[in-house]
Amino acid sequence: MKVSLSKSFSPVKAQGTNTSGAPMLRPEGARVILGSDGGALVQSITPSAHLMFGPRGVCLHPDGSLWVADTGHHRILGWKSVPTEDDTPADILLGQPEFGREGRNAKGPVGANTLNVPTGITAFRGGLAVADPWNHRVLIWRDTPTGPDHHADIILGQPDAQSSLANVGLSYAAADTMHWPYGVSSDGNRLIVCDTGNRRVLVWDDPQSTGQPADLVLGQKDFVCRDENGGGAVSGFSMRWPHMAVALRGGLAVADAGNNRVMIWDKFPESNGAAPNSILGQADENACDHNMASYYPTSQAMNMPYALATHEARLIVADTANSRILGFEDLSMTAHADRLTAQPDFAAKGDNRWGIAERDTVCWPYGLSALGSTVAVADSGNNRILIWEVAD
């Protein structure tokens, strides 16, 4: 299905006409900051129960727990309940034998309890799913894990717990292989994986066993092709670097950071290579330049959007390279964001607004999670997690 423009493209000028928009998240800033060690400046990257190094994933679990992919330390941190005070240390550790340790696969062999640059993390059927990119797999725990000795129950992308080659060593992709999967999410039943290195999104209707093949592929016409933009120019169905997908209004949204856009399906796609109904962040389906080929962003343009979340019917976008959070009520082609956080107006960009980290700034936000009125932000460039409330 070809994407068609449902509204005319009228870019907002970077100077003079760009408004600030209503806030997406409360303007006073995050109510809780984890990883800051009590200060605004970026802290030491030494691993501990309360310090992080470039966290890229976060999950507000429906059971009340909080989970963070502490990416640079090759581990997952868990809190049994969402903290109410800054710098609360984690209760649970995965991927390392103790809080003071780090290293790829805990500096040992690959196993069902090791991690290599973990990124996306999501609640899945009462348990947890984690994207383990440099082991080229996704780990699934049927119940929320309890500690470093709690092995994953299901592994997707590899035939067993000890394997870690990209596409299991093949030069092409398959329905049961992965290459640097970054994002993982669920619509409540299906598991959705952004298989970033293969330039595609994979969907499992009912993952039950290690090595199980996916049921659906988006971004490619079949399970074998792994070429950028399906081997051609950027188009309506193609992807370059898909990093996050979320269920939205009965459909699906995918953040294609490499094409600087978000793809929207009005209904959950049912066929391989299905094209979206609309695109946010670009003027048409063939465009891919960051900030719509301008230096300054606008309320329509994006620069490497990595993460998505939803609040009620609104789509929340981490416009990562512009260091800002956008909110969209209108999802039609080239729609304007109507909500903004972390920048003073839609024309502004800059890490921490070109200053030091504050409670209401971000520096390359790579992960989002929303539950009720709470939004958690993986503020990767500031080595911290922000627990923030949606604005009225």
C-alpha 166/C-alpha 173 separation (Å) is 9
Contacts of 8 by beta carbon, 8 Å cutoff, 6+ apart: none
Q: Please indicate, yes or no, if residue 71 is contained in any of the structural domains.
A: yes
Name the domain count of the chain. Answer: 1
Instruction: Give pLDDT, residue 21.
Output: 86
Instruction: Give pLDDT, residue 5.
Output: 32
Instruction: Give pLDDT, residue 42.
Output: 57
Taking the mean position of all CA atoms in its chain, how far away is CA 296? 23
Q: Please indicate, yes or no, if residue 6 is contained in any of the structural domains.
A: no
Instruction: Give pLDDT, residue 69.
Output: 98
Instruction: Give pLDDT, residue 321.
Output: 98
Look at strands 384-389 and 22-23 and give their pairing: unpaired
Instruction: Give pLDDT, residue 17.
Output: 41
Residues recorded for the chain = 392
Q: Please indicate, yes or no, if residue 2 is contained in any of the structural domains.
A: no
Look at strands 137-141 and 339-341 and give their pairing: unpaired
Q: How far is CA 361 from CA 40, 275, 317, 321, 350, in A?
A: 10, 35, 15, 13, 10
Three-class SS state of 107:
helix
Q: E-assigned strands of 207-321?
A: 216-218, 242-248, 251-256, 261-265, 278-280, 305-311, 314-319
**Residue 154: strand pairing partners:** 140
340 phi and psi angles, rounded to 5 deg: -150, 140
- Other C-beta atoms closer than 10 Å to the C-beta of 265 total 23
Is the CB of residue 94 less than 8 Å from the CB of residue 115?
yes
Q: Please indicate, yes or no, if residue 374 is contained in any of the structural domains.
A: yes
Q: Please indicate, yes or no, if residue 308 is contained in any of the structural domains.
A: yes
C-alpha 73/C-alpha 284 separation (Å) is 39
- Note down pLDDT in tens along the chain; length 392 residues: 333 333 333 333 344 345 778 999 999 999 999 998 765 555 667 899 999 999 999 999 999 999 999 999 999 999 999 999 999 999 999 999 999 999 999 999 999 999 999 999 999 999 999 999 999 999 999 999 999 999 999 999 999 999 999 999 999 999 999 999 999 999 999 999 999 999 999 999 999 999 999 999 999 999 999 999 999 999 999 999 999 999 999 999 999 999 999 999 999 999 999 999 999 999 999 999 999 999 999 999 999 999 999 999 999 999 999 999 999 999 999 999 999 999 999 999 999 999 999 999 999 999 999 999 999 999 999 999 999 999 99
Domain limits for position 169: 22-389
Q: Please indicate, yes or no, if residue 199 is contained in any of the structural domains.
A: yes
Instruction: Give pLDDT, residue 41.
Output: 58
Contacts of 17 by beta carbon, 8 Å cutoff, 6+ apart: none
Q: Please indicate, yes or no, if residue 95 is contained in any of the structural domains.
A: yes
Instruction: Give pLDDT, residue 20.
Output: 79
**CATH at residue 27:** 2.120.10.30
Q: E-assigned strands of 37-111?
A: 57-60, 66-70, 75-79, 92-94
The torsion defined by the Cα of 202, 206, 212 and 216, in degrees rounded to 10, comes to: -30
C-alpha 219/C-alpha 200 separation (Å) is 5
Q: Please indicate, yes or no, if residue 1 is contained in any of the structural domains.
A: no
105 phi and psi angles, rounded to 5 deg: 50, 40
C-alpha 73/C-alpha 269 separation (Å) is 36
Q: How far is CA 169 from CA 137, 179, 213, 226, 318, in A?
A: 13, 10, 16, 14, 33
Instruction: Supply 86's token pair.
Output: 């800054």
Instruction: Supply 336's token pair.
Output: 């304007």
Helix (H) or strand (E) holding 312: none
Instruction: Give long-range contacts, CB 8 A cutoff, 24+ apart: 140-146.
Output: 140/191, 140/207, 144/61, 144/63, 144/65, 144/78, 145/76, 145/78, 145/92, 145/94, 146/92
Is the CB of residue 376 less than 8 Å from the CB of residue 58?
yes
Instruction: Supply 89's token pair.
Output: 């240390």
